[in-house]
Amino acid sequence: MAAVVRGIRGATTLDEDSVEQVYKRVQALVSEMLDRNGVSLDDLISMIFTATDDVTAAFPATAARALGLSDVPLLGAREMVVPGDPPYCVRVLAHAYSERSRAEIAHVYLEGAVSLRPDLAPG
């Protein structure tokens, strides 16, 4: 299969709203998303980050940029407020070129964010 554009979803939660937690958890999430899907930095097109209202210590996109994503367009936004949503939650949608089929894409949910998509949690 020729490389096509694929969306890769991911989410994580923080234990607290601190710069250290934003950087640690976001970098772990992005690294895992890229690793599980065999995506290199050159394959990345863009990434959209959302965070719940209680994440205010740092921009998730800034944390991701520290991984070497200096020329990848990154965007941050606020997540909708929905009852029962996990606190301190950061979500990401990455757009990347991939030769994998849509069914072969591994979406990554870490920490408390596993509750968002338990069907995608590793078994």
Task: Determine the distance from the C-alpha atom of residue 82 to the mean position of all C-alpha atoms in its chain, rounded to a whole number.
Answer: 19
Q: Torsion-angle region of residue 51: left (phi > 0), alpha (psi -120 to 50) or beta?
A: beta
Domain locations along the chain = 4-116
Which of left, alpha, beta for 9 (phi over 0: left; psi -120 to 50: alpha)? beta
pLDDT digit string (tens) for the chain, length 123 residues: 678 999 999 999 999 999 999 999 999 999 999 999 999 999 999 999 999 999 999 999 999 999 999 999 999 999 999 998 899 999 999 999 999 999 999 999 999 888 888 777 665
Match domain 4-116 to its CATH number in 3.40.50.300, 3.30.1330.40, 3.40.50.1820, 3.40.640.10: 3.30.1330.40
- Residue 4 pairs in a beta bridge with 98
